[in-house]
Amino acid sequence: MNTDLIIIGAGPGGYETAVRAAKAGLQVVIVEKEHLGGTCLNAGCIPTKCLCHSAEDRPSPQPSPVMEREEADAYLRAAIGRKNEVVEKLKAGVAQLMKTPGITLVEGDARFIDQHTVAVGDEQYEAKHIIIATGSKTKFLPIPGAHAEGVVTSTEMLNLTTLPQRLAIIGGGVIGLEFASIFQALGSQVTVIEFCKEVLPNFDRDLAKRLRTSLKKRGIEFHVGAAAKEIKTLSPSLPHNGEGGLCVEFEEKGKTQSVEADLVLMAVGRAANLDSLNLADVGIETTPRGIVVDEHMQTNVPGIYAIGDVNGLIQLAHAASAQGRMALNHILSPSLQGRDGVGPIPSAVFTVPEAAMVGQTEEQLEEAGIEYQAHKAFYRANGKALAMEADDGLVKILTDASGKILGCHILGAHASDLIHEATLAMRLGATIHDLADTIHAHPSLSEIMLAAAEA
């Protein structure tokens, strides 16, 4: 079958690009081997946000330990059920989008035959342009016991029916902290083991430390600068551990320590999903991070593009969507020299409190030798935050001497929403003085942005 564009992968980057391409007049074949919506919809962004909401709404437990455990399990099952309903509703919406005229959805595993031909089962599809959007898969540490029974990924965590009393999480990045926040709120005893000196290594260190302190006050135990060495399966017959379970051994400050758990979440990042694509035979360049692309998301093979997690640039669903627009723009108008690039990309962590950032951190600016000024404001001085009983947090805006915004970092309620004011300002070249001159509604959390701009 001949077509204009083949897209491999129906995650956010893939299916949104397919719809845009079809509306632009292209005939599109989109291939998906598992679930419409990809990791984000089925085992990532949406399911975890559903559980975040359920965790925030969990009622106070009963005083009886037995009743508390039974109620916790029942509440977890109800939360998982609600999550499944939301996911299925959104998947149905994606399925409807795939019925857009000009789109042909093909189910199966895609592999390259040559630089313009893709096979799915016994069928072959040929196109001048191909976009690879196969996403990523969970990484595992190369340590003994990494695949032992009771060691799970985020996918399994999203389908639990029994709440683990003791949960150990290896990895203090976005995935690890979100699950730590969720399951602590649901009633688990949570321990996080992070290899780097601070959680959220890619975030502003000040912000990350404040978040860790806040989560610690909620009951989560942290070990930072700690390297997991082994996961052992314990016997219920041992006198020191009548419940059995698992034991995570790690090295911290030169000493070997351990933590026992009923369940261990492996949350050490994700790797580009290149399985079965047959990239080497068609000459597509890759690195350990993923497929190599240029500023248009095009690979070293003309006409073949890679967007989203698979290129290893930035593993965010909204980044994949933006990269899909860039690739499609280049396909439709390869000689057009207009406003391109994805611009500043915000990131958010849906813990309690939330964290969000855009642009550069203080550490990055210092390392690059760039002079900057930090403008801060705190939630505790904001009327809306106090009214919401959400006074834990701050806004930090980083600028150069002229007021150009270099980065913005927010810790606190609705940080994931507030960050977009700074993102838009950076995109349009607005300065911190422009923010300070912008009227903000009162009372609102957005006034914390205003207070930081005026600081």
Q: Which residues are catalytic?
A: 442
3-state secondary structure string across the chain: CEEEEEEECCCHHHHHHHHHHHHCCCCEEEEECCCCCHHHHHHCHHHHHHHHHHHHCCCCCCCCHHHHHHHHHHHHHHHHHHHHHHHHHHHHHHHHHCCCCCEEEEECCEEEEECCEEEECCEEEEEEEEEECCCEEECCCCCCCCCCCCEECHHHHCCCCCCCCEEEEECCCHHHHHHHHHHHHHCCEEEEEECCCCCCCCCCHHHHHHHHHHHHHCCCEEEECEEEEEEEEECCCCCCCCCCEEEEEEEECCEEEEEEECEEEECCCEEECCCCCCCHHHCCCEECCEECCCCCCECCCCCEEECHHHHCCCCCHHHHHHHHHHHHHHHHCCCCCCCCCCCCCCEEECCCCCEEEEECCHHHHHHCCCCCEEEEEEHHHCHHHHHCCCCCCEEEEEECCCCEEEEEEEECCCHHHHHHHHHHHHHHCCEHHHHHCCCCCCCCCHHHHHHHHHC
